[in-house]
Amino acid sequence: MTVVLHQWEISPFCQKVAKALSYKGIAFEAVNYNGALAAKVQGLSKVGKVPVLDINGLRIQDSTRIARYLDEAYPDAPRLYPDNALLKAQVELWEDWSDELLYFYEVYFRVNDPVALNAAVDVAMLGRPTYERMVMKPMLKTALKAMLYFQGLGRVSSEDVEAEFHRHLARIEVTLAATGWLVGESRTIADIAVATQLSEVIRTSQRMGPTILQHPRLAQWLKAQA
């Protein structure tokens, strides 16, 4: 069986799928569409975005749909979603919260900090010629700022954004006190989704990354998933 993950190196959603595959013990090949290669993503699926997982020619797009498919196709591997209906609902709430809200904080800290933006561009341009950076960096910055503006976070003061982010971190820290995981007694897609978003902040933001790691339970939780 051939499993190929079509991904953009800087995308936390692609990293989410890669970690889910690794957690389930599924060997895969990653194909990166960094730099100008991103133009080829449109041809991978009708949606025209990555991640796209190709399993023997069957292509699944969207990180959540991929995670659900993996549990269906590989039921004997560690489960990403609990069988218990209540726990599964809680896991899905955390996953959606991560994908639909926490993601925008990661984007905000990346695009509004020149150091973090440069670090993100370095990752996004891995394996690509230097001249592409001159074109891709302003395009990436403009696209991300527009996304934040229409989402709403881009119209909020930086003080308020950071204060709310600290509240989110405190909530995660409190939740982890129960079992060491976000839901139940073991790792789930909730942990993978949230940890991936926070890890991207740590990877590129020298200012906000240490803020995350100041929370002891959260730092230990992230280390356990590295």
- 138 plus 188 within the same structural domain: yes
Residue 1 has pLDDT above 80, yes or no: no
162: in domain: yes
Domain that holds residue 171: 85-225
Residue 217 has pLDDT above 90, yes or no: yes
- 134 plus 208 within the same structural domain: yes
95: in domain: yes
Residue 226 has pLDDT above 90, yes or no: no
Residue 170 has pLDDT above 80, yes or no: yes
79: in domain: no
What gap in Å lies between CA 195 and CA 19, rounded to an integer?
10
- 89 plus 68 within the same structural domain: no
78: in domain: no
Q: Are 190 and 142 in contact (CB under 8 A)?
A: no
Q: Can you list the alpha helix ranges (DSSP code H) found in 9-76?
A: 12-23, 63-73
**Alpha-carbon dihedral 193, 196, 197, 199, rounded to 10 degrees:** 160
- 93 plus 194 within the same structural domain: yes
CATH number (domain holding residue 28): 3.40.30.10
- 113 plus 203 within the same structural domain: yes
What gap in Å lies between CA 16 and CA 197, rounded to an integer?
8
194: in domain: yes
Q: Which of 27, 42, 73 is the last residue of a domain?
A: 73
Locate 152 and state its tokens: 């709403």
**Nearest alpha carbon to residue 105 among 216, 8, 202, 6:** 202
- 124 plus 211 within the same structural domain: yes
Residue keyed to tokens 């949230």: 194
> For 177, phi and psi rounded to 5 degrees?
-65, -25
| pLDDT on residue 94 | 98
Residue 144 has pLDDT above 90, yes or no: yes
pTM of the predicted model as reported, rounded to 2 decimal places: 0.95
- 168 plus 142 within the same structural domain: yes
- 119 plus 60 within the same structural domain: no
- 68 plus 109 within the same structural domain: no
What gap in Å lies between CA 36 and CA 106, rounded to an integer?
23
Q: Which of 22, 46, 73 is the last residue of a domain?
A: 73
- 52 plus 148 within the same structural domain: no
Locate 203 and state its tokens: 């990877």
- 116 plus 149 within the same structural domain: yes
| pLDDT on residue 93 | 98
Q: Which of 43, 73, 103 is the last residue of a domain?
A: 73
Q: How many domains does the chain have?
A: 2
Q: What is the pLDDT of residues 18-61, one digit of tens each?
A: 999 999 999 999 999 998 898 899 888 888 899 999 999 999 99
80: in domain: no
- The whole-number average pLDDT for the span 155-174 is 98
**Mean pLDDT estimate for the chain:** 95
- 107 plus 206 within the same structural domain: yes
- The whole-number average pLDDT for the span 100-124 is 95
CATH number (domain holding residue 171): 1.20.1050.10
37: in domain: yes
